[in-house]
Amino acid sequence: MTHVFHPTLLREYDIRGVVGDTLSTADAYAIGRSFATLVARAGGKRVAVGYDGRLSSPMLCDALIEGINAAGIDALNVGLGPTPMLYYAASTEDVDGGIQITGSHNPPDYNGFKFVMLGRPFYGADIQRIGQMAAAGDWEVGEGATQSIDIIDAYVDRLVEGFAGGAYRVGWDAGNGAAGTVIEKLTAKLPGEHHLLFTDIDGHFPNHHPDPTEEKNLADLRQLVAEKRLDFGVAFDGDGDRIGAIDGEGRVIWGDQLLQIYAAALLQDLPGATIIADVKASQALFDRVTELGGRPLMWKTGHSLIKAKMKETGSPLAGEMSGHVFFADRYYGYDDAPYAAVRLIEAATKLGQSVTELRGNMAPMVNTPELRFQVDEVRKFAIVDEVLERLTAAGAEVDRTDGARVLTDDGWWLLRASNTQDVLVARAEAKDEAALTRLLAAIDEQLALSGIERGPQAGH
């Protein structure tokens, strides 16, 4: 028995497709069987499985577990919940890996799979291996058993373990995503006053798309914070591993700005610690970490890559512009948005300032949202190489960590190839509008030299 996946399904950090088109239950079975075979050959015996609130998730979960069991591996089904709840199970239960079925922040007809194996991120070549094994029918044969457990209360208890924050008035927007029930249970355990939006888990996402990095999706939260005069508001993506936030005045606190707040609190306890952020983060963050006595480290975009770098460097805190925040000082080092919300309350308490003051104290920067350019999949990395070659020849100051991040007197600009889509991603940040215009002109010039024109842009 062999199985061939649709060529678009196996991505850099996860497996993702359109249900009924590029993704089916047969795919889920093959994914389960390949992953379980890898676990079996590494001496493992059991895999944790969880799923998000999408309409197709229970069906894919059944097929996935069937595949896991067919390779002779037991499945521990933790049921419906956010991705970090599955990561929690993989960290605390007697299992050798975990799979979360989730479409994350993609449209409702998408779904996919995120993995962890033997306590490490599972991505890149690991995911390609699943495809190779399925195509070859290189699978173990056996009869595993399945056990279902309810882990949600233990997970929520862990979120508030050792909580050292004060009482605030907070708005929470779960966006009808998988974190809804967790947010209800979590806020019941926190001091202060909590106002909740859209905590009913609904795979149609009837209120707004569950992606808090797009400002338009924060409109309901902004209205709630204004009407109730709340201290701040937090929002979550479809599977609860990315956080968005606004302050009491309705200003967005972007991922790199949240990281400034977390770093200020954490470095009081762990002076000199390494704080990691991705290449899309503001220069203001790296400068602030240095100012606070920490060691800033710029790294490649991608939650799996950041997690691996944290393990390698012993970093207690990392984050991405996209709202993935990773705490390893009093937690497990994975991206957990409900936990990040708890830590925001703690940070404001520790720093003795309101979230609004902390946001207001940040140096104003003029920057673009993430700009995306559709390009041919086979050209995207080649274009970045061409740009790097030209910049080097011109003697520009370039950081090559992930694409080209160019530092000039006006500020900086970035051009990188997306690992998950057929797009180039650009971003620029300057001290004023005139400088930003010059940076964007520099990006346009480089794209034009490689035959790409900047068209109408998607948002942040």
Among candidates 131, 69, 71, 79, which has minimal Cα distance to 101? 79
pTM: predicted TM-score of the whole model, two decimal places: 0.95
Q: Is the pLDDT of residue 458 over 70?
A: no
CA atoms within 13 A on the CB side of 233: 31
Q: Are 44 and 122 in contact (CB under 8 A)?
A: no
Q: Which two three-digit tokens encode residue 274? A: 């390494």
The tens digit of pLDDT for each residue in 27-46 reads 999 999 999 999 999 999 99
CA dihedral 206, 207, 212, 215 (to 10 degrees): 130
* Through-space distance between the first and last CA atoms of the chain, rounded to whole angstroms: 44
Range in 122-131, 254-263, 374-383 the model is least confident about: 374-383
Q: Are 207 and 200 in contact (CB under 8 A)?
A: no
Rounded to whole angstroms, the Cα distance separating 91 from 85 reads 10
pLDDT at res. 382: 95
Phi, psi of 391 (to 5 degrees): -65, -40
Place of tokens 């049921």: 79
Rounded to whole angstroms, the Cα distance separating 318 from 335 reads 9
Catalytic site residue from 34, 91, 104, 315 = 104
Rounded to whole angstroms, the Cα distance separating 325 from 241 reads 8
315 is catalytic: no
What is the identity of the amino acid at 9? L
Say which residues have a Cβ less than 8 Å from residue 395's Cβ, sequence separation at least 6: none
The tens digit of pLDDT for each residue in 382-401 reads 999 999 999 999 999 999 99
Q: Is the pLDDT of residue 100 over 90?
A: yes
Secondary structure percentages of the chain, helix, strand, coil, to 5: 35, 25, 40
Rounded to whole angstroms, the Cα distance separating 388 from 151 reads 48
Phi, psi of 214 (to 5 degrees): -95, 120
Q: Which two three-digit tokens encode residue 6? A: 């649709």
Rounded mean pLDDT of 244-255? 97
The arrangement of strands across the sheet holding 274-278 comes to: 295-299, 274-278, 317-319, 325-327
Question: Cα-atom radius of gyration of the chain, to the nearest Å?
Answer: 22
Say which residues have a Cβ less than 8 Å from residue 226's Cβ, sequence separation at least 6: 250
CA atoms within 13 A on the CB side of 449: 16
Rounded mean pLDDT of 49-69? 98
pLDDT at res. 459: 37
